[in-house]
Amino acid sequence: MQQLLMDDPAELGGYQLLGRLGQGGMGVVYIGRGPQGDVVALKVVRPQYASDSEFRRRFMREVRVAQGITGPGLVKIVAADTDAAQPWLATEYIAGPTLSDAVIRHGPLEAPAWAGVAHQLGTALRTVHEAGIIHRDLKPANVLLSRAGPRLIDFGIARTHNDSALTNVGQAVGTIGYMAPEYLTTATADERADLFAFGAVLAYAATGRHPFGQGPWEQVQYRSVHEPPDLTGVAPQTADLLAALLDKNPYRRPPLHAVLREIPAPDPSRAWLPASILADVAAAAEGLLHLKAPRSTQRIDPHPGPPQTHTPTELASASPPPTLWKRLKDAFDGK
């Protein structure tokens, strides 16, 4: 979590904002606390996009899509206001690292943990597909690891079978390296594109490497379309399953029910996540107990002016740590 900026609101929809969890080109995600002490993640649309009727329609659809699916491995929406000057939605807050952060910190998952994540994530994805929804941006950063297992998040570019795509014709939206070849070449996709992304996420969890490498996005995109994934070091049976999910031909990818038969379900009576990740989950949960609303004097000015003589040196020179998405982007680009 990062400090709030001076331009950030202190309260939104009855939730007191405590800090920033992340940001993107279209919005900011905050951590907030409700009047009953419940902690949530609030996604808020930036003002310049809130006035865009097409973008607002897309955000309304995101809320509708997320509210329409519930089940194990999915994060619940607890509140939303799509008519606000700055539309927002609040979801339950999951204490724990993303899959990408866990792999960066602790390395690839060992077999029991990998199988547990694979089976529960696959079950959640099957629930999404049974609701008639395509996620379209399944990636390690959109998988949270909790004590109960993985949670699939961020339906910002998901759509139902009956929805027309809100992107321009010929324009694919997603994350290079996890987007299916047919989606990259035609900007159209169905559940089989999610199967490709599912295989890429599981390959990353097993190896700690992006399955189609790093470097300029054009090179990664080319490898995704034309070259086999890097499954070096993966056990043969698991490698065969991943290779099938990552088949360039979408019609050859196995359906989820067949994939789940090949992956043993985790034993609910035993802890199957490694102790190092469980320690991160526990630390995140403990951190929630100590969260306090920041004082305005502690906030960071996003547009700092010339240094002032009365400003303490330590505050003038302090800077927030790089966000997770920035670290991942640098890692992806080989920096």
Candidates 76, 80, 57, 79; CA nearest to 68 is: 76
Report the alpha-carbon distance of residue 219 to residue 177 in Å, rounded: 10
Report the alpha-carbon distance of residue 26 to residue 4 in Å, rounded: 17
Q: How many Cβ atoms are within 10 Å of 241's Cβ, its own excluded? A: 20
Report the alpha-carbon distance of residue 141 to residue 150 in Å, rounded: 11
137 has catalytic annotation: yes
Residue type, 101: D
Structure tokens at 267: 């034993």
* Residue 191 contacts residue 172 (beta carbons within 8 Å): no
Which member of 8, 101, 137, 247 is catalytic? 137
Summarize the chain as % helix, strand, coil (round to 5): 40, 15, 45
* Residue 77 contacts residue 90 (beta carbons within 8 Å): yes
Residue type, 310: H
Residue type, 12: L
Report the alpha-carbon distance of residue 34 to residue 12 in Å, rounded: 10
16 secondary structure, DSSP code: E
Report the alpha-carbon distance of residue 31 to residue 20 in Å, rounded: 6
Catalytic center residues:
137
